[in-house]
């Protein structure tokens, strides 16, 4: 997955535990990659929720129900979830294969550049 993101021009800022922060090419827009048991989830800012149907329409791309919460996603907004303290959250996607992941990130790049 890292290779696909690098080929698309995304750059890594840091990795903490199972979360890696990436920046879209030529942009200050962050997204996160969460990897557990060799399964990768791409997590985007909740503001892009209105593009869910566009992203889910890509073959092999599926958004997870509800929001994904991780304290390491520091560039994302926070909300109170299961504790009294707010935690960072976003929208998570899973992929059938690397091609689906590549098409999804390409679509996110187009959306964030205002050509969605």
Q: Residue 109 — very low, low, confident or very high, per pLDDT cuts 50/70/90?
A: very high
Q: Tell me what pLDDT residue 15 has.
A: 94
Q: Domain ranges in the chain?
A: 2-112
Pick the CATH number of 2-112 from 3.30.1490.100, 3.40.50.150, 3.90.1150.40, 1.10.10.60: 3.90.1150.40
Enter the pTM of the model.
Answer: 0.92
Beta 11-16 vs 68-69: how paired, if at all?
unpaired
Mean pLDDT in residue range 94-109: 96
- Both tokens assigned to 18: 């199972």
Helix (H) or strand (E) holding 107: helix 98-112
Helix (H) or strand (E) holding 89: strand 86-95
On the question of pLDDT at 36 being above 90, the answer is: no
Q: Residue 83 — very low, low, confident or very high, per pLDDT cuts 50/70/90?
A: confident
On the question of pLDDT at 116 being above 80, the answer is: no
């Amino acid at each position: 997955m890292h290779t696909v993101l690098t080929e698309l021009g995304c750059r890594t800022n840091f990795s903490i535990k199972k979360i890696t922060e990436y920046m879209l090419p030529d942009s200050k827009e962050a997204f996160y990659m969460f990897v557990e048991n060799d399964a990768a989830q791409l997590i985007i800012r909740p503001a892009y929720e209105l593009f869910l149907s566009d992203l889910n329409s890509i073959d092999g791309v599926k958004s997870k129900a509800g929001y994904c919460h991780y304290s390491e996603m520091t560039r994302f907004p926070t909300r109170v979830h299961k504790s009294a303290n707010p935690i960072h959250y976003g929208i998570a996607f899973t992929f059938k294969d690397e091609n689906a992941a590549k098409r999804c990130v390409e679509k996110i790049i187009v959306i964030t550049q205002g050509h969605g």
